[in-house]
Amino acid sequence: MAVIGASPVTFISEDATTNHGKQYQIPLSLLTIGSTGTIDPSAWPEFAGLAATDQTLVTNLLASLVSQSLLTAP
């Protein structure tokens, strides 16, 4: 199930080696939400190439947006 919200999810890389300070936008259409309420960003092509630091950042950011009801299942 796709995610609904007001705009793409935007974050700035915290990877200290190659992408530090690079801004990313994740289209909502590439995020899915499971039955447990967690969002899966793996359909976003760039997710797999992110450093572990940024993957954790994205996972925590998405969880925070869900807890604030800023991203929900339709």
Evaluate whether residue 1 is within a structural domain: no
Report whether 23 contacts 52 (CB < 8 A): no
Q: Is residue 2 situated within a structural domain? A: no
Residue 5 CA to residue 15 CA, distance in Å, equals 26
Instruction: Identify whether 27 is part of a domain.
Output: yes
Q: Could you give the percent of the chain with pLDDT greater than 70? A: 89
**Which tens digit of pLDDT belongs to each residue from 28-58?**
889 888 777 788 899 999 999 999 999 999 9
Round to whole Å and give the CA distance between 16 and 7.
27
What is the domain range of residue 51? Answer: 9-67
Number of domains in the chain: 1
pLDDT of residue 25: 93
Let me know if residue 3 belongs to a domain. Answer: no
